[in-house]
Amino acid sequence: MWWKKKQEKKEVIEEKKEEKKEESLLKELCGDDAKLYDFLSHYLCVDPSTAISKKDLDILTEEAEKSGDFSPAVDKAIFEASQNPGERERYIKVIRNLASKTLPGMEQEKEKTEKEGLTDRAAFLGRRIEDQKFLSERTEDIINVASKFYNEELVELGEDERKEARGKEREIAKSDEWRIGEQEKREREARQKERKKMGKEERREAEKQEKREELSAEERKEARAEERREAEREEGRIEELEKTEREARKEERRGN
Most confident residue range from 46-55, 130-139, 242-251: 130-139
Higher pLDDT: 58 or 252? It is 58
Q: Does the pLDDT value for residue 128 go beyond 70?
A: yes
pLDDT band for position 197 (50/70/90)? confident
Nearest-5° Cα angle at 221, 220 to 224: 85
Q: In the 8-state DSSP scheme, what is residue 211?
A: H
The one-letter code for the residue type at 26 is L
Query: How high is the pLDDT of residue 32?
Result: 92
pLDDT of residue 227 exceeding 70: yes
Position 139 pLDDT exceeds 70: yes
- Residue 22's Cβ-side half-sphere holds a number of Cα atoms within 13 Å equal to 20
For the cut 60, the answer to whether the pLDDT of residue 16 exceeds it is: no
Q: Determine contact, residues 76/57, Cβ cutoff 8 Å.
A: yes
Using the predicted structure, report yes or no on whether residue 256 has a pLDDT greater than 50.
yes
Residue 157, pLDDT above cutoff 60: yes
> Is the predicted pLDDT of residue 15 greater than 80, yes or no?
no
pLDDT of 245 strictly over 70: yes
* Residue 16 or residue 57, greater confidence: 57
Return the sign of the alpha-carbon dihedral for residues 182, 183, 185, 190.
Answer: positive
Verdict on whether the full-model pTM lies above 0.85:
no
| 1 pLDDT higher than 90 | no
Q: How big is the CA angle at 33 (ends 32 and 36), to the nearest 5 degrees?
A: 150
The candidate with the shortest Cα–Cα distance to 71, out of 91, 85, 89, 51, is 51
pLDDT band per the 50, 70, 90 thresholds, residue 4: very low
